[in-house]
Structure 1
Amino acid sequence: MVRVGLQISATLENIQTLKTHEDYPYFFKLTCSNCGESSNKWHDITESERVQQDTRNADGFNFYMKCKMCGRENSMDVVEKTNVPYTADDSGKYKTIVVFDCRGVEPVEFSPRSGWKVECAENGQKFEDVDLSEDDWVEYDQKNKNSVGVYEFASKFIKLKK
């Protein structure tokens, strides 16, 4: 079992926090750790959802798949209480926002898509279901009468020690 952290970096304009939630679907492209086969399709992993595919784990997994190449059974779970917001203080730097327990499979590419939550600076507006699929997002904060935005969104994965 390998723990992998999803790190993001972005430039935040007049935004206090950028975050996901337990119903947020993380979309990944994955590689089998056994044979090295990489998937071309996107797979979604949601913390609040469990799948019962494997008799070895009665609780199920957040994600389960069988490798098409080697037939190995692989799974991933979101590690509870590792989901943290990306804040104005983090702007421009990489920060781990969530950790995954990976068994036989590892994420190699992340697609942010929609479902992010944004809280503007200085008790400004809150935006739900923000779409970062274009790596940039711009809106107008009516309360503070200024533009807000997420720019230069980037992500990477790091292997963590247990």
Structure 2
Amino acid sequence: MGLALAMSAELVGVTELRPVDSEDSPYTYAFKVQCTSCRETHPNFVELTAYETHSLSGSRGDANFVWRCKSCRRESSASFKTKPVAYTAEDSGTWKNIVELEVRGLEFTEFEVQGDWTCKSAANGAVYEEVDLQQGEWFDYDEKAGEEVTITEVKWQIRRS
């Protein structure tokens, strides 16, 4: 089954919002996970990155995330289907899938933003590399353009893709 992490935000003066995610600096995605077999939800957020893989038991390949439910003991997995895409000024105020995952035997039910995001000034292309969205908003000032740049109303949604 495919799941997507979608976001909605109001962007003013910025565009190209995306997680800082490279092999040298992988973005850690944190999700609440639920077993699709017994419906048990793990009490903590679990973390996965696109650059780390784990072996599935029975030599069935690898996945970015492998989890065994403590209740029913079923092994489940998730793998990234896409690299993260940018949320642009044109997307402002609408829902957009940022990254897609292939999941087997589990569902992600909630996302917790962690780590840095990056965006660009819509006026002059200046890059902001340490955008922290944990509070659901971010504010800065574009010196060259002489105006405030903001990201507000940040919301997350996990949906089938």
TM-score higher than 0.5: yes
Partners of 2:113 and 2:146 in 1: CA distance: 27
Aligned residues: 157
Offset from partner CA, 1:75-106 (integer Å, 9 cap, x none): 1111134x211000000000111101001111
Letter in 2 for 1:54: S
Deviation at 1:123, TM superposition (A): 2.2
RMSD: 1.4
Structure 2 residue aligned with 1:66: 68
Partners of 1:99 and 1:35 in 2: CA distance: 24
Letter in 2 for 1:90: D
Identity percentage of aligned residues: 33
Letter in 2 for 1:120: S
Partners of 1:61 and 1:108 in 2: CA distance: 19
Deviation at 1:53, TM superposition (A): 4.6
Deviation at 1:124, TM superposition (A): 3.5
Letter in 2 for 1:80: T
Q: Superposed, which structure 2 residues align to 1:122-137 within 5 Å?
A: 122-137=123-138
Partners of 2:111 and 2:160 in 1: CA distance: 15
Q: Normalization by structure 1: what TM-score?
A: 0.90
Partners of 1:66 and 1:88 in 2: CA distance: 40
Structure 1 residue aligned with 2:16: 17
CA contact (8 A) 2:108 2:158 kept: yes
Partners of 1:28 and 1:120 in 2: CA distance: 30
CA contact (8 A) 1:112 1:133 kept: yes
Q: Which runs of 5+ in 1 are unaligned?
A: none
Letter in 2 for 1:17: E
Tell me, yes or no, if structure 1 residue 54 matches structure 2 residue 57: yes
Q: Normalization by structure 2: what TM-score?
A: 0.91
3-state SS of the aligned residue for 1:86? coil
Letter in 2 for 1:27: A
Deviation at 1:140, TM superposition (A): 1.4
Structure 2 residue aligned with 1:26: 29
Partners of 2:144 and 2:27 in 1: CA distance: 27
CA contact (8 A) 2:116 2:132 kept: yes
Query: Runs ≥4 in structure 1, deviation > 6 angstroms?
Result: none
Letter in 1 for 2:70: K
Partners of 1:101 and 1:65 in 2: CA distance: 14
Q: Which runs of 5+ in 2 are unaligned?
A: none
